[in-house]
Structure 1
Amino acid sequence: MSISSIKEWQPTDGLTLEDNALRAVKDLRNSLVIAGPGAGKTELLAQKACCLLETNSCINPKKILAISFKRDAAYNLKERVSLRVTSKLENRFTSQTFDSFAKHILDRFLNVLPEEYRPNTNYEIVDTQQNAIIRAFAKFQIYIDKDNKKYYMDLLTSYSLPIKDNQLIEDVWNLLLKGDETHKATLSFPMITLLAIYILRTNPFILISLRKTYSHVFLDEFQDTTTLQYELVKTCFLNTDTSITAVGDNRQRIMIWAGAKRDIFDCYKQDFKSKEYSLKMNHRSAPRLLEIQKIVNNYLQDSPFVPIPNPKWSENEGVAEIWYFKDFQDESRTIATKILELTQTYNINSRDICIIVKQSVNKYTDSIIKDLKAVNINARNETIFQDLLKEEIVILILSTLKSALNVYDSDSWLTIWKEKVHLEGMQGSTNESSFDKLRRELKDFLRSIKNTLVSITNIEELRILFIGISNFYNLNRLKKSYPKYSQGTYINKLIQDMEGYLYYYFQQTGDWLSSIDTFEGKDSIPIMTIHKSKGLEYDAVFFVGFDDNAFWSFSHQQQEDTCTFFVGLSRAKRYLYFTFSESRKGTYCTNSNISTLYQMLKDSKVVKELNFQS
């Protein structure tokens, strides 16, 4: 397609993008998009994918690679694109997390690594909080500070490969890569990223192939990119014809503790010579809630932040309040009463209400769950389910069960049909008889599943059914289509976790569809940490435990904790409630150390304070 076709292209579904967003979508060069909360960054990237594919600016058969920080962000972007383009074009859009991108490179090209850096094929994955790294260091070093796990993780990945002149690090790497009689082969994602970089730097044909595959790359939540992840991006695409679009917001940088690169925007602009675009619209929050965001912005940066509310709002819409309590039990009952009012009087769906905490979900919300249950409202710790429900194998099995149980569930049928067509290699085929045969085969299989579900009496029988479903779609093809499932026992663990939850709920409800709804969180209020809420939005947000204990690190990382505060409050569309309790499970709470955060709310002139302490 010509450049003129790009100029003529318009957003799909009749959507209107603000001027800078549309310019960023149509820009074929490297760009940096500064997108605050509610600016519609996911929609911007989805529309850019549509523009590139529909105008053939991403020239067939080249692809677009989108890399997100969080798994649900990668999934949501993929779903958004699938709604906008044909299935043929959709197959040229790949959406992954940084971790899965690096792991895909390692697993696919593992055998090109020299023997000393080639991990056992059945390696396990651990995060920085697990003990495998500490145990590995302890084998070679007498004194180990077991309370400082992050130090050892950072030390382990502070050397480029191959490692030279540090015998300790060499020994620990070797143990973790290979394992021995007392240690399993174990890798962390930073280690996997280092190995992926090593593969690309030492195998130019693999690097050339990667660059020829992807003509455009999207980097989502760019402010949270770590130094190692940025090094991987540079290794892959610096000084190439690949066009990079990075999207992020400095005010939402909440992953410094996990290694986010502080100067990532400046480095990117210098390295990739990118053009910067700033988005002004906020499509999420009511005008009065935006006043709070403006004040917090002034604490975080010198440049002004004047978000423009969506025209759907009237000027005075938005409710923000701080509630003060003597003890957490009063707090819990009051929250339950307000949520009951929101659901019954204002008809807000349970999934559009969220309870967020700075950390330690159970510490702050056990009593709230109990009090909500007393008024027939379900709530749960969403952290347990958030990633699991975004896994492709989980979505596929659940969609298969729902299609078998409810022939009118068109979304589930479309999901399994598209997956089956993809796995059979029939995309683009015009052979109608083949499609008719496949359709009959799928419907017959669904009938057999429905009959099997009726007779299931224990979890072992459910496990056998899930194995049968996986085999129907061809497990080997699934693993090839989703390389993350090809290594170790990861896919087995996902299926095992799903069957455990699903059978537990079936024992409670006696109905499979109800069990699936419960597992997916239908009609249940999600409870999560601020970090887990990032990228999500809700009609009403309850920010519980707004005290010094929750923000215990505020005094020595004020900037990052203020960013965390900003992320939490900006999830709300219309209702925003902060709660403080003097007493919480035998602990006396104060808010003097975070008085700056309280002052921000007061300075906005829109936050009402309610005292329930009398």
Structure 2
Amino acid sequence: MSRVYPEDWRPQGVENLEPRAWQALQQAERSVLVTAGAGAGKTEFLAQKATYLLQTGLCPAPRRILAISFKRDAARNLAERVAKRCPPEQARRFNSYTFDAFTKSLLERFRAAIPDAYRPPSDYRVVMPRRQDYHHFLDTHFFPGVNANQLEKAITRARLPIANEGSELQRAVATYWQSQYNDQEDVLLSFPMINRLVELLIRHNHEILKALHLSYPCVFLDEVQDTTYAQFQLLRTAFDGSEAIFTAVGDDKQRIMVWAGAMPDAFAQFEQRFAAQRISLICNWRSHEDLVRIQHVIASRIDPHVEEPEARAHRLVDGEVAAIWEFATEEEESDCLAQWIESEVQVGHVEPHDVAILVRMHADQVEGKLFPAFANRGLRIRNVARNVGDIAIQDLLGEDLTKILLRLMRLGSTDRSPENWNAALLDLQYLEAIDPADEVGQQLLQGRLQKFVREFRRTLRGLDPVPEAAAEAAQVALDFIGGGVLRRAFPAYQRQPDFDRVWNGFTLLFQESLQHAETWSVALDEFEGLGQVALMTIHKSKGLEFHTIIFYGLDNQTWWSLTPNRPEELNSFFVAFTRAKQRAFFTLCAERGQPIAWLERILIPSGVQKVTF
């Protein structure tokens, strides 16, 4: 594709951008910090800016754009949007990672360059320590003056190398690193530890640092308000002294990860450290005017100086769009929710998978309470927080392995699927590094895919769609791609245990999906959650949107921490409310707890109805 002059470039895939988005997009001389409220289209803005930089040559070949998100599905979504807007030779120069995937990829590529004392073996295992694991370590190694929370934070922040001397906390951190390397059969590394190893690596190896500077003149950072001290320090180590231009986006009203180590002043830190120009987007493309008006009341409580957004979505439903539903018992609550959703589905107002039930925590417990009433109404709940094997369903659905296999299995289970055919061809092109301009290579790919699809359809016709056949059917698709090819293409799968974790989760969920399906195609719908009401925590809902959200448990026992002096909890409430495109409801149960009076005094005058059942 020929280069486009910056003044001639137009947005791709959308009619236009708001004036402030244009300003932030065209700023290529200095870093920008884009503050964008709920529904402002942060991901779309980043995709458009990436397209602008690539197509105008402001990020010239072979240099690349590094994009870092916090959630796997956000990183994937951003990469897919850029791929739709740019030709493949440009899209390949857009590298979209999560923070964890980025650091892990550097560890895999440059492990041999890590100083001897901290260099892990190639067969290290990634672990997710729980609070009780830190308690056990402290008890076993006798550090009575340190608690688990202090240890966890210190491990995340401490720069390597760590001397086993000084304060008790420093000695505990040093001993913890030694124990993770020496006290088990395998070396065990958490993602915060991988972050620290990579920070040490690039701090002590100027050749790797130089390679980063040459590769990435443009760096995108999504959800900047969630950046931890360690992640911010890693960015500084990697790009201080370079000419990299940052584009960071986020919303400090959605800062809900301070409990997990996010910096409380990430915006100010970023603005100061990278001399960033702050630009605020004003439009809300997700929610209609009635919801946006209520959202602004909550936002003003968080930040009295926040600008009122402009609602750009249309209201498509009649009746109440925001309410607190009050029930006497949990049984009545479950029955009414199931009855209401069933009614809305039957009259065609909404599909089950366009409804989300959000919870503060303990999604598994809520699933157990709701399941009988929903089953009696013929409704299914998809608890995406639930693990299949060692991976949560929501994380599994965002994996590259899952996306690639699902496309192939869709082709095998249907007579015609142009969308999946084109996507599968792009997958093969990427996996096998075929140049889009190589006509012979492209024809060979098409021929291989046509042959596979014909044979795969015959295979599936000969297999009954039962749970026992799940692994066999999935293995046929995997064999066509090649496990080794996938591991080479995606750094996250280069280690066999990491690949197995996703593969095992895929086959287990596919087995479950076949328990409720009469055909392979229906099983794949089940796998992806079509026709099922989504159940997830607020933290997992961040970045998503649904036609209707129902927050379960707006009472002073379920959400005991939602008090006026804990701003992060009000931020969480704001996040929950703003997932809704058309309607947002909250349930209150007298059997479980009492109303949160101070919050109701804010909501009810703003237009949130209170309905007693």
TM range (shorter): over 0.9
Kindly state the Cα deviation for residue 474 of structure 1 after the two structures are TM-superposed. 3.2
Does residue 1:437 correspond to 2:444, yes or no?
yes
Deviation per residue, 1:331-386 (Å, 9 max, x gap): 11221222123223343122221111111123334343332222222222122321
Q: Distance in 2 between matches of 1:264 and 1:119?
A: 31
Q: Distance in 1 between matches of 2:518 and 2:343?
A: 30
Letter in 2 for 1:435: Q
Letter in 1 for 2:251: D
Kindly state the Cα deviation for residue 323 of structure 1 after the two structures are TM-superposed. 1.1
Q: TM-score, normalised by structure 2?
A: 0.92
Deviation per residue, 1:89-136 (Å, 9 max, x gap): 111111111111111111111111122101232222222426554444
Q: Distance in 2 between matches of 1:530 and 1:260?
A: 16
Residue pair 1:327, 1:582 contacting (<8 A) in 2 also:
yes
The one of 580, 594, 610 aligned to 1:590? 594
Match of 1:500 in 2: 508
Summarize the Cα distance change of 1:18–1:344 in structure 2 as closer, same or farther, 3 Å threshold. same
Residue pair 1:542, 1:578 contacting (<8 A) in 2 also:
yes
Deviation per residue, 1:547-576 (Å, 9 max, x gap): 112222234961010000000011111111
For residues 83-482 of structure 1, what are the structure 2 equivalents within 5 Å?
83-129=84-130, 132-141=133-142, 143=144, 149-166=148-165, 167-176=171-180, 178-180=181-183, 182=184, 184-310=186-312, 312-313=314-315, 319-384=321-386, 385-432=393-440, 434-456=441-463, 462-482=470-490
RMSD: 2.5
Residue pair 2:413, 2:460 contacting (<8 A) in 1 also:
no
Q: Distance in 2 between matches of 1:452 and 1:358?
A: 44
Kindly state the Cα deviation for residue 240 of structure 1 after the two structures are TM-superposed. 1.7
Structure 2's unaligned 5+ residue stretches are 166-170, 387-392
Does residue 1:27 correspond to 2:27, yes or no?
yes
Match of 2:528 in 1: 520
Q: TM-score, normalised by structure 1?
A: 0.92
Match of 2:62 in 1: 61
Residue pair 2:32, 2:277 contacting (<8 A) in 1 also:
yes
Summarize the Cα distance change of 1:373–1:462 in structure 2 as closer, same or farther, 3 Å threshold. closer
Q: Distance in 2 between matches of 1:259 and 1:322?
A: 32
Summarize the Cα distance change of 1:453–1:138 in structure 2 as closer, same or farther, 3 Å threshold. farther
Summarize the Cα distance change of 1:468–1:134 in structure 2 as closer, same or farther, 3 Å threshold. farther
Kindly state the Cα deviation for residue 328 of structure 1 after the two structures are TM-superposed. 1.2
Percent identity over paired residues: 32
Match of 2:549 in 1: 541
Deviates more, 1:208-217 or 1:196-205: 208-217
SS in 2 for 1:583: coil
SS in 1 for 2:328: strand
Match of 1:49 in 2: 50
SS in 2 for 1:562: helix
Q: How many residues of Structure 1 are paired with residues of Structure 2 in the alignment?
A: 600
Q: Distance in 2 between matches of 1:9 and 1:189?
A: 40
Q: Distance in 2 between matches of 1:456 and 1:132?
A: 45
Deviates more, 1:42-51 or 1:347-356: 347-356
Residue pair 2:470, 2:514 contacting (<8 A) in 1 also:
no
Residue pair 1:297, 1:305 contacting (<8 A) in 2 also:
no
Summarize the Cα distance change of 1:522–1:26 in structure 2 as closer, same or farther, 3 Å threshold. same
Deviates more, 1:112-121 or 1:244-253: 112-121
Residue pair 2:59, 2:65 contacting (<8 A) in 1 also:
yes
Deviates more, 1:421-430 or 1:23-32: 421-430
Deviation per residue, 1:468-507 (Å, 9 max, x gap): 5334323333212111111241111211111112123223
Q: Distance in 1 between matches of 2:467 and 2:526?
A: 17
Deviation per residue, 1:176-228 (Å, 9 max, x gap): 1x344x45321111111111100000011001101111121110011011010
Kindly state the Cα deviation for residue 31 of structure 1 after the two structures are TM-superposed. 0.2
Kindly state the Cα deviation for residue 248 of structure 1 after the two structures are TM-superposed. 0.5
Match of 2:5 in 1: 5
Summarize the Cα distance change of 1:468–1:144 in structure 2 as closer, same or farther, 3 Å threshold. farther
Kindly state the Cα deviation for residue 40 of structure 1 after the two structures are TM-superposed. 0.7
Letter in 1 for 2:149: K
Residue pair 2:34, 2:281 contacting (<8 A) in 1 also:
yes
Kindly state the Cα deviation for residue 3 of structure 1 after the two structures are TM-superposed. 12
Match of 1:483 in 2: 491
Residue pair 1:160, 1:194 contacting (<8 A) in 2 also:
yes
Kindly state the Cα deviation for residue 287 of structure 1 after the two structures are TM-superposed. 1.3
SS in 2 for 1:10: coil
Q: Distance in 2 between matches of 1:282 and 1:486?
A: 40
Letter in 2 for 1:30: S
Residue pair 2:157, 2:230 contacting (<8 A) in 1 also:
no
Structure 1's unaligned 5+ residue stretches are none
Q: Distance in 1 between matches of 2:21 and 2:240?
A: 24
Q: Distance in 1 between matches of 2:529 and 2:285?
A: 25
